[in-house]
């Protein structure tokens, strides 16, 4: 049993293809582990909002598919036909979509089987997974600590050995930060490379799906089968080439840029120490470490907390009680039905962001807030373009701290927002970035973020692989 759980997704796929592992057995091992966590409730990690009752039938056409038989955990906000898709919200409790998200369909065609839906912050708004209507997720490294968010269920499930890999979404760091806090690999690809069709939206111009995996090769493998143009998503693009599985062991000639704006003030000492150690390792592997400037990066968080809530305020308007989801009972009239449905259905953080976003878009304030935030966003993208003329990749810590205690930051939204300080600039610029575990601080994982220009995923993955091979981070101790 445990040796099956020890397999990476890549190895499991190979074992199934070679006939040395039965897909049904693999699925059942994970299904049982996931089901027992779900049954444990507060005593478990609370990773899942739904677990498959039995192995789904493999699509006949998929018998020779590249990922045949590998179970996949999917963040709650991906629509899955006939399976609850609630985006962590009371307002969508029990909602069964009539269709499946494009990226999930694509992965099914590639052979994966839907194992479970993972818990998340409500509508992907949060950095600790404490904003879920279905309870907080716990960090497998320390159950008193948060797994990060908003893809906290996906990260905890992978780190805890409850799923071989998982899908998440990243708007301002929602894949990378929980990956860092749980000691796994998480990647946000170039904006537009993965279809958003069927992802319950938070902020449309920022949302991207990506993999959460145990190692870099699995991330590359899953991402390879996620990318591609989708005629149902006008913002999706054809990925210019196949994503290669990384093999690099060295970083000879690779110029790594270290932006002073994201590697100094506000970063915990233990995190900085692990980051510096990683830079030293990179140098040993042949990389050149260079300082770069991202002058507008310190304003990224402010711009992000205007743009994302503005889009969210509009994206979440459809949850009005008219067609699906929660509807307040015995409303006096239409307005009463709207206000009570939304009052009862949304959590505090979601309401806070709807109000922020509504205000930012209001007549008379639009230019001062939304307009200015968009100009800052343009400046940040220009900063990255300029930096990538001097360096190949940019490295930063993924999150300023290691996993913090449950409840530690819930009373202070601004402190919570600072979690995304290092990840938001890449989101605003739409560029790919990966987080890999680079060491421990106080016994908890630290994440290293590596970012590259648009569509440089293969290069980013190669560099991440070389560092990973050198760091030899040990994840097994987190397994439940």
Partner 1 sequence: MSEPPRTPSQPPAGGSTGEDRFEAVIGLEIHVQLATATKMFCGCELSFGEPPNTRTCPVCLGLPGSLPVANARAVHFGLMIGMALGSELAPRSIFHRKNYFYPDLPKGYQISQYDEPLCRGGRLGDVRIHRVHLEEDAAKLIHVGASGRIHGSDASIVDFNRGGTPLAEIVTEPDLRSPEQASEWLKLLRSTLRQLGVSDVNMEEGSLRCDANISLRPTGSDELGVKTELKNMNSFRFIERGIRAEIARQHKILAAGGAVEQETLHFDPASGAITSLRSKEEAHDYRYFPEPDLVPVAIDARMIDAARADMTELPAERARRLERDYALSAESAQLLGFRGELGDYFEAVLAAARAFPPASSSASLSEGRGEPAPPAQTLANWVAGELASRLDDGQGPADSRVAPGALATLVGLVAAKRVSVGAARQVLDRLVADGGDPEAIVEAEGLAAIDGGEELAAIVAAALAANADAAKRVREGNAKAIGPIVGHVMRETKGRADGTEVARLVHEQLGV
Catalytic (active-site) positions? 75, 150, 174
Closest approach of Cβ 312 to partner 1, in Å?
11
Pick the closer one to partner 1 by CB: 203 or 434: 203
Which residue(s) pair with 257 in the sheet?
290, 394
Pick the closer one to partner 1 by CB: 311 or 468: 311
Q: What is the DSSP string of 158-169?
A: HHTTSSSEEEEE
Q: How far, in Å, CA of 421 to CA of 381, rounded?
A: 16
With contact defined as beta carbons under 8 Å apart, do 439 and 280 qualify?
A: no
**Cis amide linkage into residue 89, ω under 30° from 0:** no
Pick the closer one to partner 1 by CB: 47 or 79: 79
Q: Which residue has the tokens 């069964």?
A: 96
Alpha helix locations (H) across 187-262? 216-224
Stretch that binds partner 1, among 84-92, 114-122, 258-266, 270-278 (CB under 8 A): 84-92
Alpha helix locations (H) across 110-232? 152-159, 176-182, 216-224
Binding string, 183-212, against partner 1, x = CB under 8 A? -------------xxxxxx-xxx-------
- If binding is defined by CB under 8 A, does position 311 make contact with partner 1? yes
- If binding is defined by CB under 8 A, does position 101 make contact with partner 1? yes
With contact defined as beta carbons under 8 Å apart, do 70 and 113 qualify?
A: yes
Tell me which residues in 121-150 interact with partner 1 (CB under 8 A).
Answer: none
H-helix or E-strand spanning residue 334: helix 334-345
- If binding is defined by CB under 8 A, does position 324 make contact with partner 1? yes
Q: How far, in Å, CA of 54 to CA of 28, rounded?
A: 8
Q: How far, in Å, CA of 207 to CA of 170, rounded?
A: 6
Cα radius of gyration (the chain) = 21
Pick the closer one to partner 1 by CB: 319 or 421: 319
Binding string, 397-416, against partner 1, x = CB under 8 A? --------------------
With contact defined as beta carbons under 8 Å apart, do 180 and 441 qualify?
A: no
Closest approach of Cβ 311 to partner 1, in Å?
6
Stretch that binds partner 1, among 72-80, 110-118, 261-269, 380-388 (CB under 8 A): 72-80
Residue 231 tokens read as 């005629």
Tell me which residues in 223-262 interact with partner 1 (CB under 8 A).
Answer: 231-235
Q: Count the site residues for partner 1 by CB under 8 A.
A: 45
Q: How far apart are the first and last CA of the chain?
A: 13
The only residue of 15, 52, 77, 155 in contact with partner 1, by rule CB under 8 A:
77
209 three-state secondary structure: strand
Binding string, 359-388, against partner 1, x = CB under 8 A? --xxx--x---x------------------
Stretch that binds partner 1, among 89-97, 110-118, 146-154, 442-450 (CB under 8 A): 89-97
- If binding is defined by CB under 8 A, does position 322 make contact with partner 1? yes
Provide the binding-site residues for partner 1, judged by CB under 8 A. Answer: 77-79, 85, 87, 92, 95, 97-99, 101, 196-201, 203-205, 231-235, 310-311, 313-314, 316-320, 322-324, 334, 338, 358, 361-363, 366, 370
């Amino acid at each position: 049993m445990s040796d099956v759980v020890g397999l990476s997704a890549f190895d499991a796929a190979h074992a199934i293809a070679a006939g040395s592992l039965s897909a049904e057995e693999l699925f059942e091992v994970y299904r049982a582990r996931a089901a027992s966590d779900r049954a444990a409730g507060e005593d478990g990690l609370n990773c899942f909002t739904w677990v498959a009752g039995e192995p789904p039938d493999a699509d006949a056409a998929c018998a020779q598919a590249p990922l045949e038989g590998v179970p996949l955990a999917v963040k709650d906000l991906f629509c899955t036909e006939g399976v609850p898709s609630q985006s962590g919200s009371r307002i969508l409790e029990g909602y069964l979509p009539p269709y499946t998200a494009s990226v999930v369909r694509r992965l099914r065609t590639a052979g994966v089987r839907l194992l479970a839906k993972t818990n998340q912050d409500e509508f992907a708004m949060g950095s600790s997974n404490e904003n879920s209507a279905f309870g907080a997720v716990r960090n497998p490294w320390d159950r008193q600590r948060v797994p990060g968010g908003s893809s906290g269920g996906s990260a905890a499930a992978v780190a805890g050995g409850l799923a071989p890999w998982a899908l998440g979404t990243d708007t301002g760091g929602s894949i990378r930060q929980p990956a860092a806090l749980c000691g796994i690999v998480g990647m946000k690809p170039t904006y537009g490379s993965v279809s958003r069709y069927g992802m319950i939206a938070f902020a449309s111009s920022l949302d991207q799906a990506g993999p959460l995996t145990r190692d870099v090769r699995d991330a590359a493998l899953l991402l390879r089968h996620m990318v591609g143009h989708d005629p149902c998503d006008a913002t999706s693009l054809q990925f210019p080439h196949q994503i290669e599985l990384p093999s690099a062991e060295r970083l000879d000639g690779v110029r790594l840029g270290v932006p002073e704006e994201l590697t100094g003030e506000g970063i915990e000492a233990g995190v900085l120490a692990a980051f510096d150690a990683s830079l030293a390792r990179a140098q040993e592997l042949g990389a050149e470490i260079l300082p770069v400037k991202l002058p507008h990066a310190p304003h990224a968080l402010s711009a992000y907390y205007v743009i994302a809530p503005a889009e969210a305020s509009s994206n979440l308007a459809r949850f009005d009680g008219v067609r699906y989801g929660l509807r307040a009972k015995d409303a006096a009239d239409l307005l009463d039905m709207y206000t009570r449905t939304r009052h009862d259905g949304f959590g505090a953080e979601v309401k806070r962001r709807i109000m922020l976003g509504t205000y930012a878009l209001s007549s008379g304030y639009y230019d001062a807030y939304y307009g200015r935030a968009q100009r800052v966003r343009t400046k940040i993208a220009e900063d990255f373009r300029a930096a990538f003329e001097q360096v190949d990749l940019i490295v930063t810590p993924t999150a300023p701290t290691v996993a913090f205690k449950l409840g530690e930051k819930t009373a202070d939204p601004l402190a919570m927002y600072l979690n995304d300080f290092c990840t938001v600039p890449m989101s605003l610029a739409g560029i790919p970035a990966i987080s890999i575990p680079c060491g421990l601080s106080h016994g908890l994982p630290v994440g290293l973020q590596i970012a590259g220009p648009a569509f440089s995923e293969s290069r980013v993955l190669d560099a991440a692989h070389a560092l990973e091979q050198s760091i030899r981070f040990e994840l097994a101790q987190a397994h439940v």
